[in-house]
């Protein structure tokens, strides 16, 4: 009789705990081990260096730009609300002045990259040798027609 109760308890334990995790049987006693282990996720060290909202120059341009420092690397980011008109040879530039004129002059800006998308969130790496203290705005600029679509003045945070 004792044997039947013990066997019944072990079988019930296996059935009961088998959905929870792996089952360990040791000397006729069933025991459930945890199904999930806690995992520590490393968070990236991010700080906002400067930010500003886009304004129209030649074409309607909206959204927010910010310069962030992530684990020692700097990026220019546009938020998901960013949008501008499409055009040929459109570039992302950093400009020395807090506003970017319609037509830019050589020596007043640096080109970061060709635009990735005319809408939505995006990120551009800023080279280590760029002194951000020398640049006060970001522009969306068509090189072919030397026309600034829009810009954002960058205010230090």
107, pLDDT greater than 70: yes
Residue 8 backbone phi and psi in degrees, to 5: -65, -40
91, pLDDT greater than 90: yes
Predicted confidence (pLDDT) per residue in 125-155, tens digit: 999 999 999 999 999 999 999 999 999 999 9
Predicted confidence (pLDDT) per residue in 36-54, tens digit: 454 555 456 789 999 999 9
Task: Give yes or no for a contact between 49 and 69, defined as CB atoms under 8 angstroms apart.
Answer: yes
Specify the higher pLDDT residue, 76 or 9: 76
- Give the DSSP H or E segment for 155: strand 155-156
Query: What predicted TM-score, i.e. pTM, was given to this entire model?
Result: 0.71
Q: How many residues does the chain have?
A: 157
Please report where in the chains the tokens 């929870």 appear, as a residue.
20
CA dist 13 and 34 (Å) reads 15
- The pLDDT > 70 percentage for the chain reads 72
CA dist 94 and 92 (Å) reads 7
Please report where in the chains the tokens 């230090």 appear, as a residue.
156
């Amino acid at each position: 009789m004792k044997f039947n109760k013990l066997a019944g308890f072990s079988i019930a334990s296996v059935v009961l705990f088998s959905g929870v995790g792996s089952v360990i049987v040791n000397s006729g006693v069933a025991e459930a081990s945890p199904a999930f282990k806690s995992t520590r996720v490393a968070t990236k060290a991010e700080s906002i260096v400067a930010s500003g909202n886009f304004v129209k120059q030649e074409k309607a341009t909206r959204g927010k730009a910010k310069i962030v420092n992530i684990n020692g690397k700097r990026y220019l980011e546009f938020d998901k609300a960013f949008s501008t008109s499409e055009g040929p040879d459109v570039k992302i530039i950093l400009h020395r002045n807090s506003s970017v004129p319609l037509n830019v002059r050589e020596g007043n800006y640096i080109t970061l990259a060709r635009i990735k998308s005319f809408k939505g969130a995006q990120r551009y790496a800023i080279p280590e040798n760029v002194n951000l203290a020398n640049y006060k705005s970001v522009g969306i600029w068509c090189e072919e027609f030397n026309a600034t679509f829009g810009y954002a003045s960058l205010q230090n945070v």
